[in-house]
Amino acid sequence: MKWKKQTLVSGDTSEEDIGHSYLGTLMYGRYQRDLSEAAREEARRLRRLRKRRRKDDKLRQKELEATGKHRPRGKFFKVLGYVWRHTFARLGEDWVFLALLGIIMAILNFAMDKGIAVCNNARMWMYKDLATSTFSQYVAWVSLPVCLILFAAGFVHIVAAQSIGSGIPEMKTILRGVNLKEYLTFRALISKLIGLTATLGSGLPLGKEGPSVHIASMVASLLSKLVTTFQGIYSNESRTTEMLAAACAVGVASCFAAPVGGVLFSIEVTTTYFAVRNYWRGFFAACCSAIMFRLLSVWSGAMPTVKPLFPTNLPQDFPFDPQEFAVFVLLGIVCGLMAALWVYLHRQYVLFMRNTKVLSNFLQKNRFIYPGFMTLAVMSILFPPGIGKYMAADLGNQEQVLSLFANFTWSDSLTAEQAAIVDHWRTPEVDHFGCLIIYFFSIFFLSMVACTLPVPAGIFVPAFKMGASLGRFTGEVMHYFCPLGVAYGGHIQKILPGGYATVGAAAFTGAVTHTVSTIVICIEMTGQVTHLLPIMAAVLAANATAALLQPSCFDSIILIKKLPYLPDLLSSASRMYDICVEDFMVRDVKYIWNRMTFQQLKDILKENKTIKSFPLVDSPSSMVLLGSIHRWELVRVIELQVGRSRRLQVAALWQREAEAARRRDEEKRKTRRPSRFEVTPAPDMLQVPGGMTRGGSLTTQDQGGLIPAPGQLFRPKSILKKTNSFTLTRGLVSPGSGPQTPVALHPSVYTTVTGAETRY
């Protein structure tokens, strides 16, 4: 506590004393307030200061824990780091990391496919083998999907709500530099894996391409954190961004076994400006993932050999005629229009549900009503004995796409095998033309509703099926009007509706996502390169049409979720070239400088908790930029220099120094030579009660002076300096006195050291 000094005259009082209620008077001055109250107030201030300091220490410690920079590495990570540096580091750290990322994603996607197949087979088994009537068939058809969707909705809500939806819009935001909380954690990974498996196992018209990209990004982030514990280079922010960009390519490659298209698709949907140096990372990781995914399918017996996901058998000699290019372009334009309509209706439906306050509040309080009711409604529409018989609802996703890509027309005379395929797409009431139209619009609206469920889901596969059905319908119409084919150069080539289905699938998917890489993805998924030019023409026409009308489905979701994403600049807007950086730049920049105090640094960090990096300048006056420093490094410096552990170290050091100084003073005092002029009172001056004589017993101590025997009074203090004193003895002993007892030499009042000579 800082006590105030009293002054002798009023003119000597200071402003600090006056501030502490001290009033100077003529002689001594006086305090206007009670000093005990001032002491209590000072104690309260110290307690508040100590509490605030403890809180700051905890906040800094928590911030360091979040970065993981403060943890001392254990023996396991030291050994792991040593092994890494002498094995994988010599081969190339990025190569090993990317290969491991691709292999892990292939295993996860293969495991999810197995789980989805088990759920779908169980639903079909319950529908076909356990049902004895139409009602029991209906119960068996809708019960398992409703249970799976309710489980997925509850699981993702409890474990990690960030796993709901596609994941690509969030990855676009993250790769633009925005740090979304809890989107790349282990909890979100588990929630996404289990929730996606249950969702796709229910049979709803949804896909897994977007969630696969999110899963790959989470795996890459977790691997980076693991490697950071013994290899610090992966903690760099730019390196993390590069790995996340490669992970997006791995997600698409492991989902469709399309490495080249996966790399291009990840670049288109996640970044605006792509660093070419990251190309090889994406290709290498995607190739590792695609190869491992195909090998797992072969080793498990699901496929006899390595082949595309949706193999086709279109002829290679004359796949199409040049006159058909106009039809392909027209198909692309129609796909663009329908894709833009889908994006618009989806956004309006979500906004309607959100803006209807009564309905929105009711559904938020009862989270299972909406997913349960919508799943029941969708599966009721897809019920095979009902409306589902017009849309091949008794087939799985892969069987539906393979039948749409069939290289024979559904209008000609068919073989028994071909008729078995076409029977799923026609009924006695409706032919295959009507079934294709019903199938397209059913998936169009049902996928729109299913995408709004609070479960992990994607839109790529439903868009792919919608485009394939629309292309198949166009091809069947062309074959109906030109049954013999199109003549060109003396050669007549039949119409191949399967080729139109391939073109339509790529065009509609590209229009929904605003990407051109669907050309390569479609070619890799089907294994057909013959329709490359028609696919390119249709995709470009579809993209141009959709881009003029609506944003992509991912950008639309960003707008719906209000994610902090900076949209692309429109190339057609010329006014943007008149805007300068100074028109929108931040002028109040927070910075640090050389020779600043720790208190100033603490204040800056406390006031700007969201800034991750601070510019370092030479001084506030010159503002010469020297570099930048991460926030966690500054927090660590404060913790090491003025933190709690440092303060305890300094306090312990001061205590040791004080103990050493006290021992030195003690030794020095003990060895100090006594003064020759010390004056001590003689024993005659003491009041001796009880008939004791001068020769009574008296003792001495090292500090000087006499210690009276029991019953005696204390001696008076000397007016001179207190030092060591001695009791001088005469050297003679009275007869019969027993043990030698020291007695005073003189009866004088004072005895000194110089009085040691004999005075008789």
User: Model confidence over 162-214: pLDDT tens digits?
Assistant: 888 888 888 888 887 777 778 888 899 999 999 999 999 988 989 888 899 99
Q: What is the mean pLDDT of the chain?
A: 77
Please tell me the least confidently modeled range out of 436-450, 482-496, 564-578. 564-578
Tell me the whole-structure pTM to 2 decimals: 0.68
* Tens of pLDDT, residues 257-271: 888 888 888 888 777
Predicted local confidence at residue 4, as pLDDT? 40
Angle CA(208)–CA(209)–CA(211) in degrees, nearest 5? 65
* Tens of pLDDT, residues 374-402: 999 999 998 888 888 888 888 888 888 88
Predicted local confidence at residue 1, as pLDDT? 40
pLDDT of 692 over the 70 cut: no
Residue 680 phi, psi dihedral angles, 5° rounding? -125, 150
pLDDT band at 566 (very low <50, low <70, confident <90, very high): low
pLDDT of 150 over the 90 cut: yes
In this prediction, residues 339-347 reach a mean pLDDT of 93
Query: Facing residues of 368 across strands?
Result: none
Predicted local confidence at residue 278, as pLDDT? 76
- How many residues would you count in the chain? 760
Token duo for residue 735: 């007869």
Sheet holding 613-617, edge to edge: 592-593, 613-617, 625-630
Token duo for residue 168: 């690509």
Under DSSP, the state recorded for 489 is T
Predicted local confidence at residue 742, as pLDDT? 47
Q: Is the pLDDT higher at 733 or at 645?
A: 645
End-to-end CA distance of the chain: 61
* CA max distance for the chain: 161
Q: Which CATH superfamily is domain 323-561 in?
A: Clc chloride channel (1.10.3080.10)
- Which span out of 9-13, 25-29, 116-120 was modeled with the highest average pLDDT? 116-120
Under DSSP, the state recorded for 756 is G
Cβ atoms of residues 631 and 613 within 8 Å? yes
Q: Is the pLDDT higher at 639 or at 345?
A: 345
Q: Is the pLDDT higher at 376 or at 9?
A: 376
Cβ atoms of residues 211 and 192 within 8 Å? yes
Predicted local confidence at residue 311, as pLDDT? 79
Angle CA(468)–CA(111)–CA(392) in degrees, nearest 5? 30
What are the boundaries of each domain within the chain? 89-300, 323-561, 583-642
pLDDT band at 221 (very low <50, low <70, confident <90, very high): confident
Residue closest to 538 by CA, chosen among 457, 470, 436: 470
What gap in Å lies between CA 225 and CA 274, rounded to an integer?
Answer: 24
Token duo for residue 643: 């933190």
Token duo for residue 470: 């629309």
Identify the CATH number of the domain defined by range 89-300.
Answer: 1.10.3080.10
Cβ partners under 8 Å of residue 28, min gap 6: 6, 8
Phi-psi region of 274 (alpha: psi -120 to 50; beta: other; left: phi over 0): beta
What gap in Å lies between CA 3 and CA 38, rounded to an integer?
Answer: 10
pLDDT of 744 over the 50 cut: no
Question: Pairing state of beta strands 613-617 and 592-593?
Answer: parallel
Cβ atoms of residues 634 and 642 within 8 Å? no
pLDDT band at 750 (very low <50, low <70, confident <90, very high): very low
- Three-state SS letters, 96-153: HHHHHHHHHHHHHHHHHHHHHHHHHHHHHHHHHCCCCCHHHHHHHHHHHHHHHHHHHH
Q: Counting Cβ atoms within 10 Å, is residue 436 exposed (0-12), middle (13-18) or buried (19+)? A: buried
Beta strand extents in 401-498 (DSSP E only) = 486-488, 491-493
pLDDT band at 685 (very low <50, low <70, confident <90, very high): very low
Cβ partners under 8 Å of residue 679, min gap 6: 718, 719, 720, 750, 752
Predicted local confidence at residue 342, as pLDDT? 93
What gap in Å lies between CA 737 and CA 735, rounded to an integer?
Answer: 6
What gap in Å lies between CA 708 and CA 715, rounded to an integer?
Answer: 8
Give the C-alpha distances (Å, rounded to integers) separating 136 from 127, 140, 141, 201, 387. Answer: 8, 6, 8, 20, 17
pLDDT of 515 over the 60 cut: yes
* Tens of pLDDT, residues 68-123: 554 545 565 566 666 666 565 555 567 788 888 889 999 999 999 899 989 988 88
Identify the architecture of domain 583-642 in CATH.
Roll (3.10)
What Rg value do the Cα atoms of the chain yield, rounded? 44
- Which span out of 25-39, 293-307, 532-546, 630-644 was modeled with the highest average pLDDT? 532-546
Fold equal for 89-300 and 323-561: yes
